Structure 1
């Protein structure tokens, strides 16, 4: 049975359990004087019955999906010839992939070995058996647990309390999944970073001035000169992000002030959606625009005014990437700032104007201080977006790790190097590959510091209004 069909069957079964549980509660209500004498509404009796039928089936589906592939693979390996176990693990993986491709019908070749064809037929039959067994167990479990819950429906049953308790545990489980996912990401990055720092001293990584991670990843390769100084990457990231913020923060904040304090409703209804459209444009489009239009224009202007006689001017520059990135993150600041400015109570505005303040004085001395925590949050979000951007930097600023403060020169960022280090034929025992995790850890710590600083600013300037 197809998995999507099985999900529809489970959904239909849970709906049937809901209908039967609700119907039983209504029948029992007739014997005690009506639904008002039930401990809970009929809806909750039906929901409790549906949950009893649904949750065991979903748990079975999740466990089955987790362990099915491992069990099937072990059974396939047991059917292969004895010399399969003597081959290299990489070759074993290729053989298994080819067997699964045969099962999927993606390989049609007369030269396929007979043992692969037999293994593919065995996998197909096991998958069919597994699907039907899963469907049988899921339906049987739904029927058994649904019948158990249906028989327990009674006027004194506290169905509402039990349903709410189940949903409370479900919400707690979702929260724990989010927390454990974050902890798992941090621990995995930290563990791989420690492996990197065992091979490369942390002082060389943090204070080195040259980035050239050319090391051998296989025994048959010749290693090049390797340098893992991350200062050029941090400098490039800071340079591009600073240019982007210099463009985005004033533009976004002034746009928010205009839309919330000066613009008419008609103008606001047109301008704000047009500004927010910028956030929906794919970053690859921004990168293409920066590489094809902005970067050559900046280079031509710099050459025409003679800047190439004093500084290095390239067709890929931090200025081009930062300018386009600044345009991209304007909506993050303008939209959030506009919302928090509009949330400032109108009574504060009226009080400031009643005391004789002008409109601009009221905005500077009352509205902006009141909305400052939200504005700081929007600026932080924009800064995080700028630090984590990759595509625009790759297309407009290049991959050269240079220690320079020249915005007309090509630079690279931490995120771009993480991507380049993890692309291609890599082994996770090489310092070159492990360097990506060290860069990710440093980026995480920098972002954490930004968050702490923003919370400090918010707490310092937060004001309470009735």
Structure 2
């Protein structure tokens, strides 16, 4: 049964449990709500929660755990010689999944019997001939071990789906029956429901924390595998980025890190002054009518997809920067440059700085302004010496949020700055030239993980080391922001 159907069936049982629990509670009280311990809706929510929550938790756990178990068992059927022939287990499993999809297609088209598709002892020539008729795979590349593993993968997946459906729906039915049986007028449904909501909230926060821990651990483990195959000194201090999946790669991080920081710096030089000045004007000078129009128009910039910004950089800003600035002063002839990507990215970041700073400035107590005016200060002096220092912690947080957004941007960099990594050996002039094409860490993470990648090679595993580097940089920015916020909060609170 498809997962969506299971989900809808569990929700349907939950709705039935809601009305059944509510009706049973009212029935035991003779229809008099005054005799109930809790409001009628609590009895309904009690039935809904016992029916839906355990079943959906089991469904989520099954969907997370079962695929890895199935792939592990299917991979165990493949001999080591077949894996060595393909280069890595991940590539072999990719072929297994493609072969499994081809078998499913052949069964759907009626070109292969379901029994033949699941028969591990079927004739290899017969099965591949049926697959060839579908055109789904090139059967000459599918070996007998891969095909056997694909058949085993399909059988286990269907069996797992059947067991999952029975377990989830069975648990929902048991929860439904238990909730209805324990419901009566003296049952403390409100206490149980509130305790259940508390448990759900704790579980949600735990999932968020565990997700963060899981991301960090996965990055650490894969980064450890990378440094087992490539020296960390060459990665952190290397000045050349030249990956080669055939071997002899130079994976120096410094060119990518420099491109990331350079483009982000240009973006912040555009976004911070414009966004902060816009926030000061909207909060301190603009009238209600102008503010009601201007602020939503600025915030519209945050909703524009980054691919649109990338097209804007490629078609409009890039040629303008080249024709009006770079070529006349002799610093470049390409539309792809740090300046192009930085300016467009800065435009994208304006609402991050403006909206947050505006809210923070408005949160400064009016009494502080009135006290400044009472001492004879002008409006501009009050803004400079009272409002901005009091709002500084929040403004720093807004700027660092924009910086984190800039560091993680990919599409604008690809289309605005190109994909060339500035080599540190090109000379200082080329490195600091803002009209030269550069790239960032995020762009290279995508490029290294694109296509059928071999996770046993350092050229692929380097993506995890780059990702961990960005994580550490972002963490450092957050620590710096926390220090600044605490320092000035003590001064102005």
- TM class, shorter-length: 0.7 to 0.9
- 1:97 aligns with 98
Give the alignment of 1:400-415 within 5 angstroms.
400-402=420-422, 403=424, 404-415=431-442
- 2:448 aligns with 421
What are the superposed Cα offsets for residues 359-415 of structure 1, whole Å, 9 maximum, x if unpaired?
A: 111111221122111111110010011111111111121222213011111112111
Partners of 2:79 and 2:290 lie apart in 1 by: 72
Partners of 1:206 and 1:134 lie apart in 2 by: 46
Deviation at 1:447, TM superposition (A): 0.7
- 1:202 aligns with 232
- 2:33 aligns with 35
* Aligned residue pair count: 451
Partners of 2:71 and 2:233 lie apart in 1 by: 45
Distance 1:123 1:232, change over 3 A: closer
Instruction: Name which of structure 1's ranges 268-277 and 116-125 shifts more when overlaid on structure 2.
Output: 116-125
Instruction: Name which of structure 1's ranges 245-254 and 194-203 shifts more when overlaid on structure 2.
Output: 194-203
Give the alignment of 1:186-225 within 5 angstroms.
186-216=216-246, 223-224=247-248
Contact 1:299 1:314 (C-alpha < 8 Å) held by counterparts: yes
Instruction: Name which of structure 1's ranges 91-100 and 277-286 shifts more when overlaid on structure 2.
Output: 91-100
Task: Please give the secondary structure, in 2, of the residue aligned with 1:437.
Answer: helix
Distance 1:406 1:109, change over 3 A: farther
- 1:219 aligns with none
Distance 1:251 1:91, change over 3 A: closer
- 1:220 aligns with none
Distance 1:144 1:270, change over 3 A: same
Select which of 360, 368, 383 maps to 2:388.
368
What are the superposed Cα offsets for residues 172-204 of structure 1, whole Å, 9 maximum, x if unpaired?
A: 111111111111111111122222223333232
What are the superposed Cα offsets for residues 414-438 of structure 1, whole Å, 9 maximum, x if unpaired?
A: 1112112222343122222222111
Deviation at 1:210, TM superposition (A): 1.9
What are the superposed Cα offsets for residues 294-326 of structure 1, whole Å, 9 maximum, x if unpaired?
A: 222222223553x21xx4553321111111111
- 2:9 aligns with 9
Task: Please give the secondary structure, in 2, of the residue aligned with 1:409.
Answer: coil
Select which of 169, 189, 209 maps to 1:179.
209
- Does structure 1 residue 336 correspond to structure 2 residue 356? yes
- 1:316 aligns with 336
What are the superposed Cα offsets for residues 7-65 of structure 1, whole Å, 9 maximum, x if unpaired?
A: 3332222112111211222233349xx43443322222222122222234324433554
Select which of 266, 273, 287 maps to 1:250.
273
Deviation at 1:257, TM superposition (A): 0.7
- 1:115 aligns with 127
Partners of 1:433 and 1:2 lie apart in 2 by: 34
Deviation at 1:105, TM superposition (A): 6.2
Partners of 1:236 and 1:59 lie apart in 2 by: 44
Instruction: Name which of structure 1's ranges 45-54 and 132-141 shifts more when overlaid on structure 2.
Output: 132-141
Q: Cα RMSD between the aligned structures?
A: 3.4
- Does structure 1 residue 385 correspond to structure 2 residue 385? no
Distance 1:162 1:426, change over 3 A: same
Partners of 2:388 and 2:78 lie apart in 1 by: 74
Deviation at 1:439, TM superposition (A): 1.4
Partners of 1:70 and 1:429 lie apart in 2 by: 18
- 2:260 aligns with 237
Q: Runs of 5+ in structure 2 lacking a partner?
A: 84-88, 113-123, 132-147, 425-430
TM-score, with normalisation over the residues of structure 1?
0.85
Deviation at 1:3, TM superposition (A): 4.0
Partners of 2:230 and 2:104 lie apart in 1 by: 45
Deviation at 1:249, TM superposition (A): 0.3
- 1:432 aligns with 459
Partners of 2:163 and 2:97 lie apart in 1 by: 24
Contact 1:291 1:396 (C-alpha < 8 Å) held by counterparts: yes
- 1:167 aligns with 197
Select which of 357, 362, 367 maps to 1:347.
367
Task: Please give the secondary structure, in 2, of the residue aligned with 1:429.
Answer: coil
- 2:141 aligns with none
Contact 2:100 2:151 (C-alpha < 8 Å) held by counterparts: no
TM-score, with normalisation over the residues of structure 2?
0.81
- 2:178 aligns with 148
- 1:450 aligns with 477
Partners of 2:281 and 2:454 lie apart in 1 by: 53
Partners of 2:242 and 2:362 lie apart in 1 by: 50
